[in-house]
Amino acid sequence: MDSLQSVKQRFGIIGNNVGLNRALEKSLQVAGTDISVLVIGESGVGKENIPRIIHQFSHRKHSKYIAVNCGAIPEGTIDSELFGHEKGAFTGATQTRAGYFEVADGGTIFLDEVGELPLPTQVRLLRVLETGEFIKVGSSKVQKTNARIVAATNVNMMEAIEKGKFREDLYYRLSTVEITLPPLRERKEDIVLLFRKFASDFAQKYHMPALQLDEHAQGLLTEYRWSGNIRQLRNVAEQLSVLEKEREINAATIRTYLPDRGKQLPALVGKKEKESDFSSEREILYKVLFDMKNDLNDLKKLTLDLINNGTSEGAQEKNQGLIEKIYGKESVGTSENEHEALRLAAYEPEMPELTKADPSVDKYAYAETIEEEEPLSLQAKELEMIKQALIRCSGKRKLAAKELGISERTLYRKIKQYDLHEVESN
């Protein structure tokens, strides 16, 4: 078996990371067998090198090697691409076509991004793995293939299985041997080596001196997260090679080519929009409730004045003003509403026991002390507020909504919620 160093030189692989070396060792170990292999790793880590190594060091190396990007083929044509089709099988099928499994018979087929396969195609692929059989689209004839399957994915397969996007039985068929390639951020010792290799390649390609990194620039490259992995590092090296006139690169220069990590974070979509529908309505409702609470406190004071001083002319006017504010102008002078106002004002939760209680002191003297304990039911106050607005506006929703400070649509929803159609019609 060839040494790891010779394999790296042959396939242009740079780095001495332990995880990378382990992945290459496993590739060489399984190359001489026909078992299926699943390569796992993030996008841009170089997963395409593993199936090439497996094929070149297997007894199939003189047969076909076909790489298929499953994520790039439309769902409606992927069965035809993989398994072929008969003439007239669908619109546009003007002649019989051999699929990739038929062409790769005796060789190796690399299914990149296998996690993107639609479920019906997964069933067909499972049959190929189990029996080596497949059927062309539009045909009833069973065909055999001896192609070896190496698959790769950047999808978390366990999550895909739980969500019903990938068949569990197919996963275990594909992953007889699982090879994991580490992301670039876990290969810190290889980052500068890779950059130098890319810089040298681009210097030859564009006929210019190679880039040189100072110590701070190397440190910045090493600590950067590299969400795009080797592919992103290669792009940065190419941009620097073409755009920078100075061949000595410092950290400040490199920083301008690296995306801000904060900007790469996923945006929270929908949450703000969802909350904004009710925020203004909630604020208005709170304001109204606090105003009502103040009115109740004024009524308590008024009731205390009535009890202590009798019904003076000034107190009566003040009483009528508060009743008008709460119930509307048409309610002033109605004895029933006056009694109700007094009842609300006189309402008091159970008073806490005082250390030095004076039986001669009227209990309403402590109204201000316990005002924070008044029960406020948001739903009940909202219901009463909407009901009174509809009564005052003679059931006209547009006027009532304007008075409440909410949209007519919101008011209609609340009428339906609280079943206030009867009040509205009155």
| Between residues 274 and 133, the one the model is more confident about | 133
- The yes-or-no answer to whether 4-182 and 187-262 have a common fold is no
> pLDDT tens-digit profile of 134-157?
999 999 999 999 999 999 999 999
Residue 356 has what pLDDT?
A: 42
> pLDDT tens-digit profile of 42-86?
999 999 999 999 999 999 999 999 999 999 999 889 999 999 999
Given a cut of 80, whether residue 364 has pLDDT beyond it is no
Given a cut of 90, whether residue 222 has pLDDT beyond it is yes
Over range 317-340, report the average pLDDT.
Answer: 53
Over range 210-232, report the average pLDDT.
Answer: 95
Residue 329 has what pLDDT?
A: 52
pLDDT band at 348 (very low <50, low <70, confident <90, very high): very low
Over range 314-335, report the average pLDDT.
Answer: 54
Given a cut of 80, whether residue 396 has pLDDT beyond it is yes
Residue type, position 197, single letter: K
Given a cut of 80, whether residue 107 has pLDDT beyond it is yes
Domain boundaries, the chain: 4-182, 187-262, 292-348+362-373
pLDDT band at 118 (very low <50, low <70, confident <90, very high): very high
For the chain, give the percent of residues with pLDDT over 70.
75
CATH architecture, domain defined by 4-182: 3-Layer(aba) Sandwich (3.40)
Over range 310-336, report the average pLDDT.
Answer: 54
For the chain, give the percent of residues with pLDDT over 90.
58
| Between residues 270 and 96, the one the model is more confident about | 96
> pLDDT tens-digit profile of 253-278?
999 999 875 444 444 444 444 444 45
CATH of 187-262, one of 1.10.8.60, 3.30.420.40, 2.30.30.760, 3.30.450.20: 1.10.8.60
pLDDT band at 303 (very low <50, low <70, confident <90, very high): confident
pLDDT band at 323 (very low <50, low <70, confident <90, very high): low
Given a cut of 80, whether residue 284 has pLDDT beyond it is no
Over range 89-116, report the average pLDDT.
Answer: 94
Residue 309 has what pLDDT?
A: 64
